[in-house]
Amino acid sequence: MKYINKIILSVLALMAPLAACDTDALHELNVNPQALNEVNTNFMFTAASLSLASGGFSGDNRYIDWRTNMGYTMYFMQHFASTGLGLNSAGDKYYDNDEAWNAPWEFWYGNVGKTLALIFKQTSEGGFEEGQRPNMVAASKILWALNFHRLTDFYGDIPYTEAVQGPDGLFRPKYDTQQSIYMDLFSKLTEGINGISASNPDEGFAAADIIFDGDIAKWKKFGNSLMLRMAMRISNADPGTAATYVTQAVQGGVMESNDDNVWIPMDDGPSEWVNQNGISRAFAPGDGGQNRVMAKTLIDFLKGTDPNSVADDDPRLMILSEGIQGDTDPLNQEGQPNGLDGNDLDDYTGIPNTVANEQFSSANLKLFDDADPYILMNYAEVCFLLAEAAERGIGTVPGSAQQWYDNGVRAAMQFYAPMEPGDASMEVSDAQVDAYLATYPYGGGGVTGSESALEQIGYQMWASKFFNWWEAWSDWRRTGFPTLVPTDYPGSASPGVIPTKLRVPNREVATNQENYEAGATKPDSPVGKVWWDQ
């Protein structure tokens, strides 16, 4: 036993430095040399800005547009048509598509919302940049309003007050009503507009601002224009609040020309998944390869009242369409009806195995360069909203409805130049606009000859939102204009009815079931309606 004792003693002697196994050197191995405990929050602002366009910062920039903006709403809104039954054209026939429901939820909570929440957290009390960067924080509030109004517009009642607080342990956020979300967004937006000021120190804001390079005046106009959009969006549900904010927005100063448009600039690189325009990527023949066949509804609108006359055409016809396999004669342009499968299309054309792009107009590839800027909001929309407000008498709007309508049409037609700078074929002259307005004067029945003034505004707003199809869809849900004939195809999730809501994604239902059951907009189906659309 004496040996054993000796052994135990020597073991104990060796064990003395054992506590030293839990060493600082070991702990330091878990300090990531490529990460920071604190970061300049301007860098997160840039990330959030880019994420609003195609979700660029998340490194998957064509997914959200391809699935939802294009796959769903550009077909809902009948700008495009497809015989396909797959994911990327599910909107043509109102097919269920969890990826289309899911994309805005994932990108706008999981990327934009999360990033903006961190900016607020770290610049407020206890944060590592407490009290700093007032302009960037104010601009972030404007982006916050854009991000969450879009989210609630799509889904209705959603997690809001408890949302994007994962780092604080809120894993199952409760749902808030759309009305309460809108009220909070108005106040956030007001804070943002009021908070941004040329007298604040720059603190790196201009350098981080990819949208306006720190132009404070443009930020204010953007904020007020967004307020106008949001106010008009709730104008049926809560006309009083709408009037208040329309007036406030106009007094604060909205956009005044296409120079004030809110573009997110894009780039070819360094990463195609981060820096390029996601819509362009989805359409690019060697990339996403999305079918560019345009819908009959849009082409008919652009061809004007008389399809056999060029004189009454919309000047945008041959900007949006590149022709049919090189045939650029405006008279020959034709759109494909929505809601057809391959056999239906053969019946429609009378040609066996019809190849759609051999028979119908394709959208112009010039609109879809990888580095083309991405539109968030434009002046034309502001004009049409003011026209509508004036026409309906909501709030205090200077000028007449017609004046705003004419400005809107002009701005919408002259909107495409930044896509192809210096290319005359993308430009529309004032004279062309004047001629169009002379052919279709405000209150004169529009292209169909029987449109009310409000309907005319609705048609023009709809046409002006090429690229921004999900916004066109929200406008249409609210105004009911233009009058679209729904498709009715077997297997549709809402036969004969254009969907009015995105379903809450399966994943959210599975992971936050109690709150979902208690708080989500019902029915949670494509024919459910959000608060402002009641």
Minimum separation from the CB atom of position 319 to another protein (A)? 18
If one asks whether residue 152 binds another protein (CB under 8 A), the answer comes out as no
Identity of the amino acid at 528: G
Enumerate residues 350-369 that contact another protein by CB under 8 A: 352-353, 355, 357, 362, 365
Q: Which residue lies nearer to another protein by CB, 75 or 175?
A: 175
- One of 109, 186, 379, 416 touching another protein (CB under 8 A): 109
* List of residues 6+ apart from 315 with CB closer than 8 A: 413, 428, 432, 433, 436
If one asks whether residue 499 binds another protein (CB under 8 A), the answer comes out as no
Query: Contact letters (x/-) for another protein, 377-416, by CB under 8 A?
Result: ----------------------------------------
Enumerate residues 114-133 that contact another protein by CB under 8 A: 114-115, 117-118
Enumerate residues 163-222 that contact another protein by CB under 8 A: 163-167, 170-173, 207-208, 210
Of 292, 322, 350, nearest in space to 82 by CA: 292
If one asks whether residue 52 binds another protein (CB under 8 A), the answer comes out as no
Q: Cα angle vertex 142, ends 141, 143, to 5°?
A: 90
- One of 69, 291, 333, 456 touching another protein (CB under 8 A): 291
If one asks whether residue 11 binds another protein (CB under 8 A), the answer comes out as yes
CA distances in angstroms from 219 to 45, 195, 247, 301, 331, listed in the order given: 14, 11, 18, 34, 42
If one asks whether residue 158 binds another protein (CB under 8 A), the answer comes out as yes
Distance CA(386)–CA(393), nearest Å, equals 10
Minimum separation from the CB atom of position 529 to another protein (A)? 21
Distance CA(162)–CA(244), nearest Å, equals 28
Measured in whole angstroms, the distance separating CA 164 from the mean position of its chain's CA atoms is 19
If one asks whether residue 5 binds another protein (CB under 8 A), the answer comes out as no
Q: Which two tokens stand for residue 167?
A: 């780092």
Q: Which two tokens stand for residue 88?
A: 């990327």
Q: Which residue lies nearer to another protein by CB, 164 or 419?
A: 164
If one asks whether residue 96 binds another protein (CB under 8 A), the answer comes out as yes
If one asks whether residue 50 binds another protein (CB under 8 A), the answer comes out as yes
Q: Give the CA radius of gyration of the chain.
A: 26
What is the DSSP-derived secondary structure letter of residue 452? -
Applying CB under 8 A, which part among 28-36, 67-75, 242-250, 481-489 lies near another protein? 28-36
Q: Which residue lies nearer to another protein by CB, 205 or 245?
A: 205
Helix (H) / strand (E) element for 363: namely strand 362-363
If one asks whether residue 508 binds another protein (CB under 8 A), the answer comes out as yes
Q: Judge residue 530's burial from the number of C-beta atoms within 10 Å of its C-beta, 0-12 exposed, 13-18 middle, 19 or more buried.
A: buried
What is the DSSP-derived secondary structure letter of residue 364? -
Minimum separation from the CB atom of position 165 to another protein (A)? 7
Query: Contact letters (x/-) for another protein, 58-87, by CB under 8 A?
Result: xxx---------------------------
Enumerate residues 326-355 that contact another protein by CB under 8 A: 343, 346, 352-353, 355
Applying CB under 8 A, which part among 66-74, 220-228, 376-384, 511-519 lies near another protein? 511-519
Minimum separation from the CB atom of position 329 to another protein (A)? 18
- One of 78, 89, 111, 468 touching another protein (CB under 8 A): 111
379-392 and 216-233 helices cross at what angle (nearest 10)? 40
If one asks whether residue 251 binds another protein (CB under 8 A), the answer comes out as no
Distance CA(329)–CA(358), nearest Å, equals 14
Distance CA(255)–CA(468), nearest Å, equals 18
- Please name the residue that has the structure tokens 């016809």: 317
Is residue 314 within 8 A of residue 461, CB to CB? The reply is: no
